[in-house]
Structure 1
Amino acid sequence: MAIKGLKDLHYAIITEENESETTYGEIKKLGPAMALNLQPSVNRGNLRADDGVLFSDAAKGPTAVTLNTAYLEEEVEADILGKTLDDNGGLTDSINDDPPYIAIGGRALSARGGYEYFWIYRVKLAPAEENKETLQETPTYQTPNLSGESVPRLNDGKEKYKLWDKSPKVKDETIFKDWFDQVIDSDYKPGTGGGGVEG
């Protein structure tokens, strides 16, 4: 699908996960969206015999994630990167920082009209690259550029879900009203709300 926009980025921390279920915490706004890039990795192997390739196989690896926002609120940065936020609003970077797995959701404007809604189920981000420059005659902006990896959920192997709101196959449009109230899955149930449990 041809995409020409991105907005309404949200996240939910995975609070508990095992081979039976994945539990998400409260869904919160992430930051003003600038760019989101997903780069899947595929590992290929060939069995050669009789001077040729007899068999070829492939296995999916982690998906590289790059996320660019206009800014991150202090609470959000602490949440998604495992940093410490003090009572004065200050952020501390530490060797003990442990970013949690999170789900990332949003919607992207489609060239065919409407929006493509999405959730990426299990992402771990690394600290943002920081650039600071002196003021120039022509203003330039340095914005947070986060990178990380998306991997499958432990309980069902799912990685992401997307749905176009103009698809003629959509049977229950309530799903779009609930999109940022719960981490949406293919087994969507209206009105679950508040992150939720997948299993």
Structure 2
Amino acid sequence: MATIGLDRLYYAKITEDDNGDETYDTPMPLAKAISAELSVELAEATLYADDGAAEIVKEFKSGTLTLGIDDIGVAAAGDLTGATIDDNHVLISTSEDGGAPVAIGFRAQKANGKYRYFWLYRVKFGIPATNLATKGDSITFSTPTIEGTVLRRNKLDGQGKHPWKAEVNEGDEGVTQAIINGWYSEVYEPTFAASGGSGE
């Protein structure tokens, strides 16, 4: 079903243990969302045998998340880009900046009034782009955009795989209201029933 809206943009800082496995801080609002564009790059390989394609493998490699936002506060800018806040509460960006990855959550309204919820588990952002224009005969809003690279998570899920995105539709069969209500209280952790198999 098509989506018609976008809101509730949140981020959560990541802490890694000695193995690189992520734990997430409590999610915090990032900014008011205007747009979100997610493009995905796949690693692809084709095995040829008997003069034809015998096997094709496509795996998630990375993605790009471009967010249009109303404004990014100094604290969020520091968390996402590695910029620092000086003693006068001025945000200072340096050539050595490099923000740590964060998790990004948001939701998009569907035509039926319910929402599709997302968590991207590991996104590394660059410096926000700023667009400015002088005031003319008409009012033009200049809003920042911020672009991040979406990566897979280091921590394995219950199937021994590296997730990069969690997505759920409100109202789908089997989706409890508790999942929807708690979507922004913590970054969603995949849950799989224990089994002796490989999960395939």
TM-score by length of 1: 0.85
**What does residue 166 of structure 2 align with?**
161
**What does residue 70 of structure 1 align with?**
70
Hey, what's the Cα distance between the residues in 1 that align with 2:18 and 2:31?
Answer: 29
**What does residue 187 of structure 1 align with?**
191
Hey, what's the Cα distance between the residues in 2 that align with 1:168 and 1:58?
Answer: 29
Go from structure 1 to structure 2 and tell me whether the alpha carbon gap of 1:41 and 1:142 turns closer, same or farther (over 3 Å shift).
Answer: same
- RMSD over equivalenced CA pairs, Å: 2.1
Instruction: Tell me which stretches of 4 or more aligned residues in structure 1 moved more than 6 Å.
Output: none
Hey, what's the Cα distance between the residues in 2 that align with 1:33 and 1:70?
Answer: 7
Go from structure 1 to structure 2 and tell me whether the alpha carbon gap of 1:162 and 1:46 turns closer, same or farther (over 3 Å shift).
Answer: closer
Q: Aligned-pair distance for 1:176?
A: 1.8
Q: Counterparts in 2 of 1:98-109, with a 5 A limit?
A: 98-109=98-109
**What does residue 198 of structure 2 align with?**
none
Q: Does the Cα contact within 8 Å between 1:17 and 1:155 map onto a contact in 2?
A: no
Q: Counterparts in 2 of 1:44-83, with a 5 A limit?
A: 44-47=44-47, 53=53, 55-83=55-83
Q: Aligned-pair distance for 1:143?
A: 1.0
The amino acid of 2:62's aligned partner reads P
Q: Aligned-pair distance for 1:51?
A: 6.6
**What does residue 181 of structure 2 align with?**
177
Hey, what's the Cα distance between the residues in 1 that align with 2:77 and 2:20?
Answer: 29
Q: Counterparts in 2 of 1:1-199, with a 5 A limit?
A: 1-17=1-17, 19=19, 21-47=21-47, 53=53, 55-156=55-156, 157-170=162-175, 172-187=176-191
The amino acid of 1:178's aligned partner reads G
Go from structure 1 to structure 2 and tell me whether the alpha carbon gap of 1:52 and 1:26 turns closer, same or farther (over 3 Å shift).
Answer: closer
TM-score by length of 2: 0.84
Uncovered stretches (5+) of structure 2, i.e. residues with no partner: 157-161, 193-200
* Higher normalized contact order (CA 8 Å, seq sep 6+, divided by chain length): 1
Go from structure 1 to structure 2 and tell me whether the alpha carbon gap of 1:47 and 1:162 turns closer, same or farther (over 3 Å shift).
Answer: closer
Hey, what's the Cα distance between the residues in 2 that align with 1:179 and 1:59?
Answer: 27
Hey, what's the Cα distance between the residues in 1 that align with 2:143 and 2:184?
Answer: 24
Greater shift in the superposed pair: 47-56 or 10-19: 47-56
Go from structure 1 to structure 2 and tell me whether the alpha carbon gap of 1:138 and 1:20 turns closer, same or farther (over 3 Å shift).
Answer: closer
Hey, what's the Cα distance between the residues in 2 that align with 1:18 and 1:112?
Answer: 45
Uncovered stretches (5+) of structure 1, i.e. residues with no partner: 189-199
Q: Aligned-pair distance for 1:74?
A: 1.2
Identical positions, percent: 30
Q: Aligned-pair distance for 1:173?
A: 1.2
Q: Aligned-pair distance for 1:96?
A: 2.0
Name the count of aligned residue pairs: 187
Q: Aligned-pair distance for 1:49?
A: 6.9
Hey, what's the Cα distance between the residues in 2 that align with 1:177 and 1:59?
Answer: 31
SS at match of 2:25: strand
